Amino acid sequence: MTTLNKTQIPLWVNIMQSILILIMLGQVYMYFLNHQMIVNSGIQVEGIPNLNLIYEMGARTLVMAIISIYVMITQSPKQYIIILIMNVLREGLETIIDPLYPVLNAPASPMVDLGIHLIIVAIEVWAFVTVLRITKKLSQK
């Protein structure tokens, strides 16, 4: 098992989390700085209620990205469990929401989107189980 910085976290889990962080940071950029991307997806950005929701989504996504970066730096398996739960729940909910309510510029059909999300959730669950086993092994020492 290849690990990063001689930690217990497998390299593939760190790579997966790095990709998720990049996606979150891209979303933060869209929410705060590039409303045209939001408009292109069919979401209106006019009016205070809509802007409030958009900026709140940006703030929450930024917090998730910052926490994920911190946990990747610390490489603490117990802390990793928290962000992996967050990932599984977020992506799991998107698995339901995205195919039901596709955006205008969705890169795939709702069924393909569902399949992609199911694969992503399966990988995230696999990462969670892997790190959970590591955490249990470390707590027995």
Give a yes or no: residue 60 inside a domain.
yes
Give a yes or no: residue 3 inside a domain.
no
Give a yes or no: residue 35 inside a domain.
yes
Rounded CA-CA distance 130/28 in Å is 29
Rounded CA-CA distance 51/68 in Å is 25
What pTM does this model have? Answer: 0.89
Q: Is 12 exposed, middle or buried (0-12, 13-18, 19+ CB in 10 A)?
A: middle
Q: Looking at residues 13-18, what average pLDDT do you find?
A: 98
pLDDT digits (tens, 9 = 90+) for 22-54: 999 999 999 999 999 999 999 999 999 999 999
Q: How many domains does the chain have?
A: 1
Give a yes or no: residue 38 inside a domain.
yes
pLDDT digits (tens, 9 = 90+) for 58-115: 999 999 999 999 999 999 999 999 999 999 999 999 999 999 999 888 888 999 999 9
**Domain interval for residue 56:** 11-140
Give a yes or no: residue 42 inside a domain.
yes
